[in-house]
Structure 1
Amino acid sequence: MKKIIKTKPLNINDITIIDDSKLKKAITAAALGNAMEWFDFGVYGFLAYVLGHVFFPTASPSIQMIAALATFSIPFLVRPLGGVVFGLLGDKFGRQKVLSMTIIIMALSTFCIGLIPGYVTIGIWAPILLLLAKLVQGFSIGGEYSGAAVFIAEYSPDRKRGFMGSWLDFGSIAGFLLGAGLVVLLSSLLGDAMFYEWGWRIPFFLALPLGIIGLYLRNALEETPAFQQHMENEAKNDADKPDQPKLSVKELMAKYGHSILICTGLVVVTNVTYYMLLTYMPSYLSHNLNYSTDHGVLIIIAIMVGMLFVQPLIGLFSDKVGRRPFIIAGSVGLILLSYPAFIMINSDMVGFIFLGLLILAVLLNCFIGVMASILPAIFPTNVRYSALAISFNIAVLIAGITPTVAAWLVEESGDLYMPAYYLMFIAVIGLITGLKMKETANKPLKGALPAASDRSEAKEILSEHFDNIEQRIDVVDEQIKELQEKRQNLIDQHPKIN
């Protein structure tokens, strides 16, 4: 028999009023860290051909690129470990403290890449040190996106969580754009000789000042309202039940298995599309299609500028129509349009190349525009950071091999449409996940009380809450009526019960 849990009536003072100035600071601090993460991804993706030459000079050009992309992908192996460590710390000590740790580790490891001598100078130690720096970076990133998404979600009013969350991946695109743009600018100013010799190091050096700014912003923030509320409740519970055990990682996986699967599916389809478009495509255009590197990069940059404008609009509309429609539309779009998009990309005509990439970019916006608002809402406050970090990084481990696998598939098969088939296959996972997930828009986070922008909105939320209770009472009354009729029908069929 299902246990009925009695809860006290919700009143206006139970609804958290979010301070607008603190919310803006939280979004800025969280988005900056994410921007730095994707700044490195942008730099690394657009420098793959240079890094292959610097760190793997004895290999053929094809193997150089695959080796450089593999060095990008291998660190994803340690991201789940980073997710477990930082996730557990975040659920125990708070989101703000852990995010301050991850951003400085990420900045230092990225800075160190710029210090590593090339293969010609120190031989095999060059790629080894590159890999070590990327592993440390991957470990810190394991707690970065998940923590930033949780931070923004727990600071956002329920009715604006989609719009506010969309700025996190706005930071991703902006960081990627900054990295890619910087590579183009430096290569143009310095010329190939100087750029190959030392110019490629400059973007990695910039990570340190960015990290220091991010650390300053994050240290200035208070802990999220939802986590503060959770800690107050924990203190009361600990006083009543001091020996209450915490969930282990294994128990976490068992108890929230369905939510973890939903999270994993969403992250896989989002990040495979992300890495395919923004990390692999620059190399695909220059290496496989023999397209001018500068022209290819400029097209990708133009696409990303367009994505910046679309990103917050997707988040805003998701607060009106829900998050699920965008996940389903993006997945169906990839299934139907990936192949036509690659036909355009392979047309050798600038207009069609741009259009093919634009199609993929808009479909990517459908995912990233809602991702930061969906994922934290799947899990309750007490395990939100750890559960999200674990499932997110398991999924990213799968998605992170996308550039390497795509390059290998094209190289082995000779089929330039392999990336399209790859996207279509992954989109099926996205479609199934979108159909199976529950809508999270305009609802309080699990384990947290409702949050509003102001008292007027809080009154509206309270009124809607009471209306919902009344509707549920009407449904229960109707079910009782039907059961009474069934009961009477059964009584009428029994000769001794009358």
Structure 2
Amino acid sequence: MASNRKPETEPATLRRAIGASAIGNLMEWYDYGVYGYAAAIIGEVFFPSQSTTAALLSSFGVLAVSFVIRPFGGLFFGPLGDRIGRQRVLATTIILMACSTFAIGVLPSYDQVGVWAPILLVLARLVQGFSTGGEYGGAATFMAEYAPDRRRGFLSSFLEFGTLSGYILGAGFLTALTFALPHADMQSWGWRIPFLVALPLGLVGLYLRLKLEDTPVFRELQETGNVSRAPLRESISRNWRPILSLIGVVILLNVADYTLLTYMPSYLSDVLDISSSVALLILVGVMLVMLAVIPFVGALSDRVGRKPVLLASAICFVAFSYPAFWLISRGNLAYTVPGMLMLGLFLVLYLGTEPSTLPAILPTQHRYGGFAIGYNLSTSLFGGTAPFLNTYLISATGNEFVPAFYLMLAAVVSIGPILSIPETARASIHGTTRPGTTPVAG
């Protein structure tokens, strides 16, 4: 029978657990911040072409390729985390992420080794994608299982605080180098420096994770002998309904996340002819506002519930994505900044709520695996493809409002799954049942 008791965690240990969880997401989005803003340079270095659009599509195509393998990483690392523990798997994923990102910084260019340059780039992105497949679900699970039930929304929101901080750090670092270095040096070697910094960041994250015990929830599962012996098979056979709901909920998160945070710098500069430096400053300003707001969103979800906040975000995307892009498309900062801010505030409602929502719809025995499988399948299909798809469709149709329509469609699709999941605010995630179910046999 499920236990509703949750062990108390010392405040200092809880803070370390939150930091150790968030740093992996910071690293992941540090990489995307660097890669997204350096897409044009990377295209020129690894995919030389007479067409700027072709080089950019190739660069974003490599970004999308890394997402193809993410579900396989989720299938491997997620069930492993349910079998041997969250902490050991998360220590592995963060060092793999750091090494693969570092590798991009030392790869030879197309001029040096020809076709081997893009092949090696793709291989590095595949390793990064495979390790990331086990990162987010594990970090969200680790954070949620350490957090007290009554504050899970607030504390779990710091996972996405890591997302935004990582992107700001990566994109800001690259921008500083752009201003500090002559253009020729930036094209030749300067762009590599941010990728090299990933290794020491990863070592810091590894140290933090190795200093922590596994979550109290998982340790009790071990003590009671309820650890699953076949977590992959059981995750799918016993939890396919919540996994499908999770996939649907995450569609909007992925489309909005990767459209706003990864694609929009290129949209502002290439489609609207706003200088790349100004485009990045706009996005960083929006993300700083999101950073300030996100803990309050998490706390709000503890008070009013997860589903009302998620639904508010989805409805706003349906109703206001087109007006937001109409403002952005004016090309005048007096309009563009409010339009970007609208999208950022709609997104932060989702970002601040879903890390505490999704782990709670799965039982402890299969939480890491079920989360990783569903989340990464959705991310692979709808997240990493968003920048490539937006770039291609705008080029093919000439319609600069394509991203708005894509956001609206994603929001409509996600409303049904949001309504279908149980309300998990303040619900215990301690034990082998999920809200609204009967106990699951060990």
Q: How high is the TM-score relative to the length of structure 2?
A: 0.95
CA contact (8 A) 2:248 2:378 kept: yes
- Alignment partner for residue 283 of structure 1, among 254, 261, 266? 266
Change (3 A) 1:92 1:251: closer
- Separation in 2, partners of 1:159, 1:96: 23
RMSD: 1.6
CA contact (8 A) 2:361 2:421 kept: no
- Separation in 2, partners of 1:131, 1:218: 28
- Alignment partner for residue 408 of structure 1, among 384, 392, 399? 392
1:430 aligns with 2:414: yes
Deviations 1:39-85 (A, max 9, x none): 00100010111111111112410011111001001111111111111
Cross-structure match for 1:295: 278
Cross-structure match for 2:113: 122
Change (3 A) 1:61 1:21: same
Cross-structure match for 2:171: 180
CA contact (8 A) 1:91 1:382 kept: yes
- Alignment partner for residue 249 of structure 2, among 266, 272, 278? 266
Q: 2:205 corresponds to which letter in structure 1?
A: G
Change (3 A) 1:365 1:395: same
- Separation in 1, partners of 2:318, 2:39: 28
Deviations 1:213-263 (A, max 9, x none): 0011100001100000101111xx69xxxxxx8446355323212100111
- Separation in 1, partners of 2:248, 2:344: 19
Shift of 1:434: 1.7
CA contact (8 A) 1:327 1:430 kept: no
Q: 1:34 corresponds to which letter in structure 2?
A: N
- Separation in 1, partners of 2:239, 2:395: 40
Cross-structure match for 1:391: 374
3-state SS, counterpart of residue 301 of structure 2:
helix
Deviations 1:148-179 (A, max 9, x none): 00000000000000001000000010000000
- Separation in 2, partners of 1:250, 1:28: 32
- Separation in 2, partners of 1:55, 1:306: 35
CA contact (8 A) 2:324 2:342 kept: yes
Cross-structure match for 1:349: 332
CA contact (8 A) 2:249 2:415 kept: no
CA contact (8 A) 1:162 1:373 kept: yes
Cross-structure match for 1:213: 204
1:204 aligns with 2:187: no
- Separation in 2, partners of 1:419, 1:425: 10
* Paired residue total: 433
Q: 2:74 corresponds to which letter in structure 1?
A: G
Q: 1:65 corresponds to which letter in structure 2?
A: L
Shift of 1:191: 2.6
Cross-structure match for 2:440: none
- Separation in 1, partners of 2:393, 2:323: 19
Shift of 1:321: 0.5
Cross-structure match for 1:326: 309
Q: 2:384 corresponds to which letter in structure 1?
A: G
3-state SS, counterpart of residue 133 of structure 2:
helix
Q: 1:434 corresponds to which letter in structure 2?
A: I
Shift of 1:384: 0.6
Cross-structure match for 1:340: 323
Cross-structure match for 2:158: 167
Cross-structure match for 2:405: 421
In structure 2, stretches of 5+ residues that fail to align are: 435-442
Shift of 1:446: 5.5
- Separation in 1, partners of 2:165, 2:254: 16
CA contact (8 A) 1:378 1:446 kept: no
Change (3 A) 1:213 1:317: same
Cross-structure match for 1:304: 287
Cross-structure match for 1:316: 299
Q: How high is the TM-score relative to the length of structure 1?
A: 0.85
CA contact (8 A) 1:375 1:388 kept: yes
Change (3 A) 1:174 1:248: closer
1:425-464 superposed matches below 5 A? 425-445=409-429, 447=431
Deviations 1:114-158 (A, max 9, x none): 001111111111111000000000000000011000000000000
Cross-structure match for 1:462: none
CA contact (8 A) 1:29 1:214 kept: yes
In structure 1, stretches of 5+ residues that fail to align are: 239-244, 451-498
Q: 2:351 corresponds to which letter in structure 1?
A: I
Cross-structure match for 2:139: 148
Q: 2:397 corresponds to which letter in structure 1?
A: S
- Separation in 2, partners of 1:348, 1:263: 37
- Separation in 2, partners of 1:305, 1:312: 13
Q: 1:255 corresponds to which letter in structure 2?
A: R
Cross-structure match for 1:112: 103
Q: 2:89 corresponds to which letter in structure 1?
A: V
Cross-structure match for 2:148: 157
3-state SS, counterpart of residue 208 of structure 2:
helix
Shift of 1:212: 0.5
3-state SS, counterpart of residue 196 of structure 1:
helix
- Separation in 1, partners of 2:102, 2:206: 15
3-state SS, counterpart of residue 278 of structure 1:
helix
- Alignment partner for residue 84 of structure 2, among 86, 93, 104? 93
Deviations 1:178-213 (A, max 9, x none): 001011100010032111110000000000000010
Cross-structure match for 2:38: 47
1:243-254 superposed matches below 5 A? 246-247=229-230, 249-254=232-237
Q: 1:162 corresponds to which letter in structure 2?
A: G
Q: 1:424 corresponds to which letter in structure 2?
A: M
1:134 aligns with 2:125: yes
CA contact (8 A) 1:82 1:141 kept: yes
Change (3 A) 1:138 1:59: farther
- Alignment partner for residue 348 of structure 2, among 347, 365, 371? 365
3-state SS, counterpart of residue 290 of structure 1:
coil
- Separation in 1, partners of 2:124, 2:426: 41
- Separation in 1, partners of 2:409, 2:250: 15
Shift of 1:413: 0.4
3-state SS, counterpart of residue 137 of structure 2:
helix
1:62 aligns with 2:53: yes
Deviations 1:5-29 (A, max 9, x none): 7x89x7xxx4421221111000011
Cross-structure match for 1:463: none
- Separation in 1, partners of 2:153, 2:358: 11
Identity percentage of aligned residues? 44
